[in-house]
Homo-oligomer: A and B are copies of this chain.
Amino acid sequence: MPAADALAARLRALEDREAIRDLIARYGPAADSGDADGVAALFDVGGVYAVGGMGESQGRPAIAALLDGTVHRQLLADGCAHLLGPVAIDLAGDTAAARGLSLVFRWNGRNWDAVRVSANRWHLARVAAGWAVTRRDNALLDGAAAARALLAAG
């Protein structure tokens, strides 16, 4: 009969992976419903969101401001969808990294164009409330080596 504490450790690893996947799955609905504070709340207090071609935002107010900015508001008005791909999660105790794609589709009056297709590397940490994003690096997959590097293992 397995010891309950061994089971608890296995369960916690699954819970951690589930919490991280859930956190990342909340980005798209928050972005596409225009919930700037909801996006910012996925990040840790001092979290950084570095968006390919749009500089780096640090802290929840700056991240919320990015989502409340002209570019994102115009996307919402045009009709947009932020699709996240599955993430490869590497868990290391109280921190983790996750690698995966994000795509932005925009309505063109007839169908939808993929106007951004990006690589993402998420850095995450266990915090009081569960897990939070400490840094998200994003880069367009337009042939640039730097974008490919974000997706590389290790």
The interface of chain A, by Cβ under 8 A from chain B, is 1-5, 7-8, 10-11, 14-15, 17-18, 21-22, 24-26, 28-30, 32-35, 38, 76-81, 83-89, 99-101, 103, 105, 107, 111-115, 117-119, 140-144, 147-153
Contact = CB atoms under 8 A, between A and B. Distances in A.
Contacts of A4: 1-4, 7
- Tell me which of A32, A77, A140 has the highest count of chain B C-beta atoms within 10 A of its own C-beta: A32
Copies of this chain in the oligomer? 3
8 contacts: A7-B11, A22-B89, A25-B89, A28-B101, A29-B152, A29-B153, A81-B117, A113-B114
> What is the predominant secondary structure among interface residues of chain A facing chain B?
mixed
A76 B35 contact: no
A8 B30 CA distance: 32
A140 to B, nearest CB: 8
A67 to B, nearest CB: 13
A33 B149 contact: yes
B14 A79 contact: no
A103 B81 contact: yes
Contact of A15 (B10, B107, B112, B147): B10
B84 A85 contact: yes
Nearest to A149: B33
A8 B2 contact: yes
Given A81-B103, A111-B114, A153-B38, A76 B28 contact: no
